[in-house]
Structure formats: C-alpha cells, structure tokens
Structure 1
C-alpha cells in the first residue's frame, strides 16, 4: 500500500460504522480526500463493552521530542507487514495481540512504476485491519494513540497495480470485524486465516494523476470480489 487513503462522510461509511455499533454522536469521523502518513485519522477500537471512534496518528512508532509525542520517522511504520506480526520485538507484535483496530476508509491509492491508481470499493466502505498503540504526552499528560494498517502479500488482482503488498481489507461481516477487534491474545492464532490475500469486496480501479491528486486520467477497471 503506497500510503494514501481517503474517507468520505457518506451512507456507505455510516453503514460500516453502524454495523460496528459506533455512535457517531461522540466523535465525528475525520474526512479527507488525501490522508497521508502522520496525519490524524479516525480508528474504531473496542473496550470490551462498546466500540468507539478515536483519533490516532497514522504512524505506529512514536517517541518523545521536545517533551511531546511525535512520529518516529526514522522507521516507516504507517503500515505493518503481516509476516512481522509474530516476530517478537517487532513494532506490531504486542499490538497484534492486545490492541487491534479498524481503520475506516472510502478508498485508497496504489502505485506501480510511477503510475497511480485510485482503488474505490463498489457499494460499500472499507474496513482496514489495523493496529494501535497508547502513548502519554510528557508535556500535556494526555493519551496519544498511533496506528498502522496491516499489509499482506498482493492479491493476484491487485498485483498489476502494486506488486509488493496490499492492505488487509476485512470482509463485510460484522462478526468477522468484531473478532478482529475483540479476539483475546490467547486466541490470536484464530486471526491467521484473515492474513492471507483476499478481495472481499468489488473494487473500481481508476488511473489518476498522482497519489495525492485523484484526478482521473484513464478508464476505470472493475475487480470482482472473491
């Protein structure tokens, strides 16, 4: 995944959040046509009783700098590779077991050989499988959350647009999505089946000007769901 996605406040996004039991009255979802690494995004987390929206920095690894919590940009951590989730000492090892989240999106961008493609779901929003971590800001004493999107090897249908990886797109099944959020650490092996390349929803692929400019420059291609 190249590092760009977008969030639109539309019926598809509301349907996804409703299926997760999120009450939008508490914290409106953040919207943007161009979300980039280190931006603040909305994530869905579970506290064991309810699912809620939280703000998080789209960059998993943070550090103290001038008394504040800031992204540790020495290491790229806006994505977490699935093959690192079970490697002790990796950035995502503990988070995969204890603090998983869903990152709602309306679409994302992939790039290949200098070309950029808008990947837009047909008739739904996207639930990215993600991880998050807690930090305490040394200046304000406030909790800060950070997050990353789990990435998988590319699905054969995605590979022509990005041959290295694809984001973990959770199926449009509230039970599966809740399992991603709530599965206890002792049973984390049950999530392994989600970590194989899959395309659980249809995707419209459109060539665009560049990753940060979603102006169409070609005809769209339809990728059917598995």
Structure 2
C-alpha cells in the first residue's frame, strides 16, 4: 500500500509537468510526506486537455454538510490492480499523480523511502471520481516487485512510463483498457532511472538512517 508520498518542490516537478504539456502547473500542491485524505494534485483531461487539478486522496467520499469528506466505511486511498476491471473509473476516469518519492514499511517496521535516481519526478497512475465540484483520487497498486518484497511484500504503486503516447492514452477518453495490460506489473526503472531505496527514521520522518542505494 502506498500511504505516504512526496511532492518535493525542489525536484523540478513544475518543469516536469510543463515538459509533458500539462496546463496550470501553478496549481501544484507541494509537500513531503503527503498523507491520505489530504488534498493532493492530480492530472486529468476531463475537460479535453491535460491539466493539474486538486483532489482529496481517498476515492470514496460521503456528504459532510454542504461539502464532502472521506467515507468512513471504505478506506480507498489505493485501488488494487486485480479489481480494476470492476471499477468504472478505470474505463472512464483515469488520472496521473505527480510525485518525487514514496514511503513503505514491512508490517509497520523498518520504513524506507523509494525514489528514482536523484529524486526525479514521476507520475503514479491513479483513478479519480467527481463529487459535485470536488474531486477524489486513489493510487493504483500492483503486486510487489521481486526486488522490493523485502521492504514491502504486499504491493508496489503503478508508475507511468516516460512515454508521451502512454500518458496521452491513459488520460484519454478511450474505454478499452486492454492497452494497459502490459503495464500492470511493477518496474524498478523509469526513463532510464533506477529505483533507489533509503531507510528513514520513521515513516513520516524526512530524516534518513543510512545512505540510499539501488534496489536489487
């Protein structure tokens, strides 16, 4: 489960989204250790053009007076790839979530931070829903990669390849999801950058306890 991630404003994320032709980079919400149910930035093309929008990181919401809040009965910060076929959002409401790192642990112990290269920006693949004027989102999780199971045996977030064709198709309106089947497995490399791992003091901490090294 991906339950903490970074959107570091020193990682070149605004330039990264601009290079991908994504509008409104000034809307980006930055911060390290972004937590579930908080506001995060996502990329959608629901208005015809890829743009930054902001969403609650929790796919299912419920009424809260005149607004919306995370649904207390359905913990939905992640969407498991095995259930994607049951989700209309996978066919109709796919999104990307800019990030620079994420944190995992093994049964709550020995937390580590994952990133690509020198904290290069990347996109999680996700789903979104609309609730009136409010958006919500989740991160798609895959089976763990063989090289990351020792750090987190349950899952690995779906990372978009650095491929403009994939990104355009992922955000596009086509409901046939067969083209995404080859990407539903974990990869420890994105755009030539290798996955790095670095132990941290606590999952929510940004203090490291050892040097980073390539996952293998």
CA contact (8 A) 1:58 1:148 kept: yes
Q: Deviations over 1:66-114 (max 9, x none)?
A: 3421110322100000001112xxxxx1110001000000100011141
Aligned residues: 211
Pick from 92, 95, 105: which aligns with 1:98? 92
RMSD in angstroms over aligned alpha carbons? 1.7
Report what 2:169 is aligned to: 179
Pick from 158, 168, 172: which aligns with 1:168? 158
Relative distance call for 1:44 and 1:182 in structure 2 (3 A) is: same
**Please, what TM-score do these two structures have when normalized by structure 1?**
0.87
Which consecutive segments of 4 or more residues in structure 1 shift more than 3 A? none
Q: Deviations over 1:154-195 (max 9, x none)?
A: 01122111100010011111211222111501x212111111
2 CA distance for matches of 1:15 and 1:195? Answer: 27
Structure 1 gaps of 5+ residues are 88-92, 137-142
Relative distance call for 1:11 and 1:67 in structure 2 (3 A) is: closer
1 CA distance for matches of 2:19 and 2:182? Answer: 22
Structure 2 gaps of 5+ residues are none
Asked whether 1:51 is paired with 2:58, we answer no
CA contact (8 A) 2:142 2:155 kept: yes
2 CA distance for matches of 1:129 and 1:50? Answer: 17
**Please, what TM-score do these two structures have when normalized by structure 2?**
0.91
Q: Aligned-pair distance for 1:11?
A: 5.5
